[in-house]
Every structure is written in structure tokens, then in C-alpha cells.
Amino acid sequence: MWKPLSGPDDGQASVVEPQSGLLSPSPPDPLLGPDSLMDAQGYKWVRWRVWLCRLAAVLSLGLLLIVFHWCPRLGVLARCCSCPLALADILLIRDSFGQQHVVEVLTEEVEEGSLETLGELEETQWRDTVQLYSEEKTLLRYYLFEGMRFIWLDTKGAFCHVSVLNEDWTCKDLYGFQKGLSHLKQSLRRRVYGPNLIDVPVKSYVKLLFEEVLNPFYIFQLISITLWLIDDYIVYAICIFIISMLSVCISLYETRKQSVTLRDMAQFVTNVTIRRDSGVEECVSSVDLVPGDCLIIPQEGLLLPCDAALLAGECLVNESMLTGESVPVLKTPLPAGEGKYSSEAERRHTLFCGTQLIQAKGGRPGGSGAVAVVTSTGFFTAKGNLVSSILYPQPTNFRFYQDSAKFLLILGFVALIGTIYSFVVLFKTNVTWVELVIRSLDIVTIAVPPALPAAITTGTIYAQRRLKNQGVFCISPPRINICGKVSVFCFDKTGTLTEEGLDVWGVMEGGPAGFSELVPEPRLLSPGHMLSGLACCHTVTLLRGQPLGDPLELKMVESTGWTLQEPEGDGKALDAEFGGHKVLAVMRCPAQGASTSEAVAIVQRFPFSSALQRMSVVTVARGGHSALAFLKGSPEMVASLCQAETVPAQFSSKLRNFSSEGLRVLALACKPLGNTDIRTIKRGEVEKDMQFVGLLMMKNLVKPESAMVINILRLAHLRSVMVTGDNILTAVNVAKGCGMVGFDEKVIFVNATPHTAQSMPTLMFNVEDAGATDTQSSIEVITQGLYQGGFGYHLAINGKSFAALCDHFPDYLPKVLVRTTIFARMSPDQKTQLVKELQKLNYRVGMCGDGANDCGALRAADVGVSLSDAEASVASPFTSKTENISCVPLLIREGRCSLITSFSLFRYMALYSLIQFSAILILYTVKTTMADLQFLVCDIFLVTVLAIVMGRGGPSKELHSRRPAASLLTLPVLGSLFIHTCMIILGQLAVFFITTSQDWYIPLNSTVYGTANLPNMEDTVVFSLSGYQYIIMAVVVTKGYPHKKPLYHNVIFLCLLFLLLALMTWLVVSPGSWARQQLLLYDISDMGFKMLLIAVAALNFFICFIVEVLIDAGILNCLRLLRGRRESKKQYKRLNILLSNSPSWPPLNQPLVPTDHTIICLS
């Protein structure tokens, strides 16, 4: 039925989500990316259908409305008819995850003639003109979905993100907005774009109550309570009602509290200053901001309420709220040009919503403040997108949650059988039809426990609390269970595996003649381009006299001994000193003896970009003379931008040697700018034809915890992967230092080249060893057993090769992914892509990082862990306050513990239902039932209390090599449930028949039925044994080793078990007349029989316990031999087996070319 069409002539179309480049500092989110398509179908209200449904709702006492609430699509189909999207009142939307939503199309009248004020937008592009009462009106048609506004575009024949209206803006267009918008233009834009609010809906308690109560489980519980009240189970019904209301109230409070917390974090309204087209500066509410507004930023900064492109001045920004990165970032003006503006590509010139502008300077008369243009508002900002990902998270495709629903269907089938059986039995007893229906339906309320969904979240709640106590904060509790199934963990390098700070190890000047001797301290360098470049090529700034910036640059500047000075006041004095150029900062070298210190002014900055792997500055000497451009970045990138004759011949060997020692290597280059107008010079002109100057080496020490954690993961057979933006050889050294790569293991480099005009794409696998011939390398690799079991070698690949591999060698990509340990020179987008590619191979992927470059990957991963000082970063589901990766094993252990606990609670609640189910059916057969208070004791004092404290046991201290199962519908789980159920039924039947065989047994009165037959012997013995069985099963299904601490560590649970055992034994042996009267228990005086009853319970426990131990030991696996060995469903496991059995893979030192067919065939 669903198919994307284009054009307004059909009721179906695709809702286009164009790539707007608005999501930064993290890469485009899968929820909003260009590959995300939503199918939409249009519907119009049909009046007679609406009235018919209203009548049906009244006649069904509101039941029809509840059905429509559960299935909104059904409500639309019942009350509407299909129509073209252009005329639709209601839309049925299916998002990229396959989930369906119903949204209402809204319209807003726009004044005729105001459309022209939108300037570059055509009138016909977005308006919808309709004839109404013979008067033509211009209507804006739009709908809101997950906070975002989609507007109807006639030319596209589809509803599009409102951001499509400004996605084609160029940098030159943005500078055109610097003069400001008129009142009329801003008013129209406000109608089109909507208010600048990240509006987190906080529902009233009444609305939340209705939504909670209309949950299918609460409806089921409400029906159950009604049934019990009709059946005079008044005390029990009231207790369950009170417990349910308490549960609902707690749930409502927590839900609303979370909504309020998120709203307080997300929604921010302040007063800002904007410039009008008349030149007047006006103070307005941030709610009224629209894309195109010219924003005036004060010197003292502000908390930014929108995304904006910086046009004049420099801003020091703290982006920790969005990225978890605590180091302030210097933002510089956007270069003017014809290129399309993208916040991701121009992130060093973009100010993001929710970030704190600490300081603004150089953009206004007098040298203070800055000027920016609003590019995105509301949910289309970087902050809005992150908030949206919390409000509307990607569905967790986790087997456990899917199987829970399927298992409830199995219990429903069991309930159906029980209902039919009880109906037949009761029909023979000639009970009234009302009694017959009530008793039959009562079985359903017993077989399907309404509290099951709430019970299985108990383990997760305990785990979340334990994690919080250890400094790990979670904003997505369902992901805790997913932590237990992680199979590969990706780690960023700098700041995650290694120390954040770097120490300067040495510098080496280089030129056409080669490299000079290594100088350990840059301040010892002779005056020249190398020293000037180290002192000037940075974005360090001053805040209240203290230097702030990237730790690497701070160390670099400190090592030169030069001091930083920034303009004061309007800065005209410094400008005059340096030839009238606009001075951003001045670097002064220390005075030598009596001579005055030399000074260099920075007049242009082009900040570092992860995508470009470089930064550059333009400097002048006093009087504006000697204009020089300095470039700093990755050695490979810098060398590629230098004149070939200026790069030393030993460049590659020196870089390899330094990188192999684990040093962070940066290269510097410079060039004189001569008569070039440096005020208007573009980045592209600066960063070409450079002259190589030298290398800077910095030592980045591995954190002491890293090797320990990687070893723990390795012993647990969990794969560790490094994903870094650093040099590949440096990454290999760090991988060896932290144990990802053993010192006896080889590293094979994957080199892929893209298609060019001169050559075909190629792929080669080269061994790490240098100096050996190709043949020798291949023989050495094979003889050292690299191919044995797939554990002797690791692949390493850089970002360029990864891109070429994805584009030209998709058939080799899965093989490379399962064997690669080091991914170097990876851009933020590539990190995200890597995570998604691993997930396609059925890995459960964890990602641990600490900064802005990791945000996209952290959110794409199944388990994202951000190392941040913030209590909770919106960049990832988990945030750890510890500044090392020691939180990773903790998270996995807690995840496994939570998953095991959820399994235990699920099985316990299922067995509790089956115990009560079989007991009631036995008693129905002999025309009796359990008393109201007996139900109460079992359900409240035994089962509920045990279920609450069962999940308290903490995780095991060690990470075991075997991961817990995630599926409920497996042979061990279903097998154990079946065997335990059989033992339960046999136990109950045994005590029943033992009782009826006793000499003192008195048969039931066959003329009455149900509670009128109480007290009686049959009910007393079945109730007594079932009470023991609830306690027995709590012990049997509670798992300990290897993922959870043994049972005796859960002291409260243990004490409760002994207390409840004592209670049941007291009720069996000597309950006292008061307890007997209240519980309607028969007074059996035979003490030997009572001991026999306890012995049957003990035997029941012993058999079930032995069965559970044998099942845990794998006794049921013998049944799998009957069906034969099956291939794993996980693609990465099949690939591992395939590669382990391929003695010729990877093909070393052989250039491979793309093939038209897939080499790996996975059935």
C-alpha cells in the first residue's frame, strides 16, 4: 500500500527531508539525514463517517475510541477517505523505521502581497491558494512532526522540512543579510518558520493519566479488577487497585519529572539584539528570531538561542553542553564566497544553539562584540536535533523486548485453553451463566500477569542507580540491557585511550637539503620561520589574561616562550603599529638582553578543520611588512600542499620512525605573501604552494587504565577497535601500547585508492615490516602463523582508504571490517559510517569518546559512552565522569547483570502465573476455589515482594567470556519453563491425591460450588504447596555466576526468603485459629501429613534446582544435535569462520581491482 510518489496528484507521496547541513557539531543524524525518507498518504474527513464513528463510540461505551487510540491508522481509515496530499486534512506517515504516525495538516492565512518580501523564494514555491466564499486567500499548509515543521511545496508536490527554504544559501547570501531584515520580512518568515523554540511537550497529569490508563495492560488490569469486584473478591480487588494506582502515580511523576527536566534544559528564551534593514538595532525576544536575522553579539557573550554563522569578529565558545568537550573553541568569521553554506563544513565559523559564548571581540566599532546571521531555529538547530533524538529515540531493535511480546501471546494461548477447560468443567456443575462467564474470564487474569512489563524493568532501574553511584549517568535506560550484548567496542584515541594533554618531545627543521638535528626544546631554535610558525599558527586566545584553547596548541605556544597579546579597546593602537591591518593577536618573542623583543601580528585565521586536517594563519611584522602565511596540520596533508622541491627526501622515513614510536607528529609550512591583499585573501589561496618548514613531535602517553581495560575486554572475547583522526603509525604504536595489538602480532595495512582519470581503483594489503621484499614478507607472514585461527594479524586502514573501500570495493568491506583493529585519519562522518557498517554485520557496537568529533558515532552506536565532566551529555546515552575507559567494563557488567535479572524476573512472573493457573484449574475440577485472602497472600506478600528485591543483586566483579542470551524464545528458556511447569503441576496433583487417599479425608459437598465450599482440605493443601512453589521458583530462576554476584550477596532477598519460608511453614504446621479463619484454611490435625506436605515441597525444590543446573550446564544442547549444526544468524560470526578457513586471505602485496560481483557469498 505504501509507495513513495512525487507529484500532488495522488494521495501518496514521500515527505522529502533534504540535506540541510544544519546538524553540527555532530554529523547528520539518521533521523534527519538525506537518506531518510518518510512515506505519507493524504486523507480528508468524511462528515457522515465521522458522525457514524461518534455514534458507534457512544453505543460501545467508548470502546471504539480506545481501539482508535491503540491503532490511530484504523481511526483515520474509518473516518476519512484517501485524497491527494495537496488537499489532505490528515496525513498517515510511515517513518524510516517503519513506524506509523497520524498528523493533522494545519493552515495559516498569509496576507496577499507579502509573499514577495521573501525575496529569493518564488511565491508559487510554498503557498497554496484556495477559493473560499468567492474570496481568494493565500494559505500556508504545514504540519508538525516530532517538533519539526514540514511545509507544502507546490513545485515539489510534497511536504518538506521548512529548512529547505534556506538550504541553498551561499556564504555570499549570508553576508547579504548583514544589513538586517525589515519588520515585514521578519513577520512573514516567522509565520513560515514558526517560533524559535525547542518546545518539549510537558503533558498535564490528567492527560498523562488517561494515556497511562489507556495502556493495554492497564485496561486489562481494569477489566480484571471489575471482574473480581463482581465476583466479590473485594479485598483483593481493592489491594490490586491501590497498587496499580501507586504504580501509575509513580510512573506519572517520573515521566513528568523527566519531561520538565528536559524542557528546562532545552527551552531557552532570552532577549537578543538584532539589526533592522534601516540600520537600527532592536532588542527582541529570541522566540521571534528567524533565519536571516542579523544578530548582534555583546562583548561579554551570551547563551546562544539559535544556530548562526559568524560574519564579523571572533567568539570564544564553550560547546560542552552539546559535545561534552570542555575546552573552549575559537570561532572566526565565515569566509565570503559563492560556495553553499553548510554548518558541518563551516563549523569553525558557526555558533551553535545551546552553546555558551564566553567572549566576543573585534566585530563591532570599538573592537568589542561580534555580528552573526541566524541560519537555523527551533528543532532545526544542532541542540534541537539532539533534544529530538532524546524525545523520539531510534527504536531499539533488541531481541529481548521483541520476545517479551511474543511470549505474552504464548501465555494468552495457555489462558485460552484454561478458559475452555474451566468453561466445560463449570458447565457440568450447572452454575448460572453469569458465574460461568466470570469464572472462565478469571482464568485469563491469572494466566497473563498484567504486572509483567513493570516487573522486568526492575533490574534496569537497580542497574541505573548503581551506575549513577559510580559516576555513570544514563538518559536511555533500555540501553542498559543492550550493554550486556555488546560484541565490539570502538575507542577514540586522544583523550580516551591516551592522555588529553601532550608534551612537546622535540622539533626538527626541514627543507630541500634535508632535516636538521632534533631540537628537544623549541625555544632553543634560532629565529626563523620554524620558531615563528610554532608561535603564531594557533587559535589560542586570552580570557581575563589567561590563555585558553586546544591543549596541544597551548603546549606548543608555551614551549616557544613567546607571549600572547590581544587588542584592547578599539585596537587602533595595535592596528597602527602593524601597518593599519586589523590585528587579531600579537605574539612577542622574549627579549634577548638589552634588545627589544620582536613582535608578529596575526591578521587572518583559518581554523583547524577535521575534514581538512589543517589550519593556517596570516601574519605581518611591524609596519605591516613581511606578510607570511603559516600552515600547520597532519604531515601528509601539509606535504601535499607544499612545493615538492621543498619537502625533504627523508620525509616519509622520518614520519614513519616518529609515528612508530607513538609520537603525535605535526608538520609546519610557510610562504611569503608578497604584494597580495591579505585583507581579502581566501583560504584556498593561502594554503597552496607552501614551503615545507619542519616537524613538531609531541608525546601522547597512554592512560594507565587503558591497557588494563583492553586486556579485560580481550579476555572476555570482546573485540576492541581504535577509531582516531591521528596518523596510522601513531595509532598502531598506541594500539600496541594498550594491548589491542599484541607485540607478537603483525599489522597489515589496507591501502585503497579511488578512481582517477589516470588510474583504476586499487586495493592492496601490505605487511607492517619494512625492508623485506614482497615475497619474503608474504612467506614470513604465513610461516609466523598469521592465518592460523585469524588471531595472528590485525588490519589497519586510514580514512582515505576506508572511503575508497566503501565506494569501490563493497565486496571486500565486510571482510576488512571484521579483521581491522585500527582506523586512522577518520573524519567525524567516517566514524559514524563505521559504526553503522559494523551494525550491518550484526555487531552490537559500543563507542567511547570524549569530544565533538565523536558525537555522531556516539549516537549511532548501540551503546555510546561520553567521557565528560557534565552530569549528562545529550551527545550520548551514557556519560561517565571518570576520565578514562574503566567505565566500559563496568557498563558491560551492569548490562549483563540487568539482562540476566530481566530474564529471571520474566521467567519468575511467568511461572507465578502458571503455578496459580494450575492450582485454580485443579480446584475448579473439584468444584472449589481459593479464598480472597489466599490470593492476596500469594500475590502481594509472596510474589510482589520477592519480585521487587530479586533484582537487587549486583554484577559479577569479572567479565566472563560468554555473553548472556538475549532471546526468550530459545531452547534453554522454553525448556526450563516447560519442565518447571510439569514439576509444579505434578507436585500439586501429588499433594491433592495424597490428601484424598488419607483415612481422615472428607469429600467436598457436591451441591455447592466455589467459595461456598471453603474451608476444605483440597484447597488448603494446594494453597500450601503453591505458596512454597512461589518461594522455590524465586530461588531456582535467580541466576548468579558468571554475570551476577551469587545469591548470598543479595542479603535483603535472602532474609526475605527465610522469612517467607518460615511464614508458609507456620501456616502449614500451626497457623492458629485466627489465621485459619481469615484465610479459610481447613484444620488438618495429622502432623505426619503436614511433614509429608513440606517434604513434597522440598522434593519439588530439589528436582527443579537440579534441572536448572543441568540446563545451565547445557544438557538440552543434545537436542540440537538432532537437527544438525546450523550456521550462526550473525553475519560477522559467519565471516570469521570463513576467513579462518581461508589460508590465502588477505592476499598480500597484490593489487586488486573492483569486481562486478560479490566475492563473499553468505547464505
- Residue 1035's H or E segment, with its range, is helix 1017-1037
User: Got the DSSP string for 547-614?
Assistant: EES-HHHHHHHHHHT-EEE---TT-HHHHHHTTT---SEEEEPPP-TTSPPPEEEEEEEEEEETTTTE
Q: What nine digits make up the cell of 1043?
A: 554475570
| Beta bridge pairs of residue 798 | 824
Radius of gyration for the chain, computed over Cα atoms and rounded to the nearest angstrom: 36
Give the residue from 618, 1135, 594 showing the smallest Cα distance to 840: 1135
Strand partners, 39: 14, 94
Cell of 87: 488537499
Q: Tell me how crowded residue 214 is: count the other CB atoms within 10 A of its CB.
A: 14
Q: How far is the C-alpha of 421 from the C-alpha of 65, rounded, in Å?
A: 33
Question: What CA–CA distance (Å, rounded) separates 500 from 609?
Answer: 19
- Identify whether the C-beta of residue 550 lies closer than 8 Å to the C-beta of residue 632: no
The sign of the torsion formed by the CA atoms of 607, 613, 618, 621 equals positive
Of 1036, 171, 1058, 1154, nearest in space to 684 by CA: 171
Q: How many residues does the chain have?
A: 1163
Whether the Cβ atoms of residue 719 and residue 489 lie closer than 8 Å to each other: yes
How many C-beta atoms surround the C-beta of residue 360 within 10 A?
Answer: 28
Pairing relation of β-strands 663-672 and 691-699?
antiparallel
Q: How far apart are CA 123 and CA 109, in angstroms?
A: 14
Query: What end-to-end distance do the CA atoms of the chain give, in Å?
Result: 30
Residue 460 CA to residue 458 CA, distance in Å, equals: 5
For the beta carbon of residue 532, count every other beta carbon within 10 angstroms: 25
Distance, in Å, from the CA atom of 332 to the CA atom of 355, rounded to the nearest integer, reads 15
List the catalytic residue out of 39, 128, 293, 492. Answer: 492
Residue 145: strand pairing partners = 148
Question: Which cell is 584 given?
Answer: 587579531
Residue 308: count of CB within 10 angstroms of its CB: 33
CB 322 within 8 A of CB 29: no
SS3 for 753? strand
Q: Is 492 annotated as catalytic? A: yes
Q: How many other C-beta atoms are found inside a 10 Å radius of the C-beta of residue 450? A: 20
| 263-268, long-range: CB < 8 A, 24+ apart | 263/199, 263/200, 263/202, 265/387, 265/874, 266/198, 266/200, 266/383, 266/384, 266/387, 267/197, 267/198, 267/199, 267/200, 268/198, 268/303, 268/305, 268/354
Q: Each residue of 1040-1077: b (16+ CB within 10 Å) or e?
A: eeebbbebeebeebeebbeebbebbbebbeebeeeebe
1143: Cα separation from own chain's centroid: 38
Cα distance between residue 386 and residue 877, in whole Å: 11
| Three-state secondary structure call for residue 664 | strand
Omega of the bond leading into 512 within 30 degrees of 0 (cis): no
Catalytic residues: 492
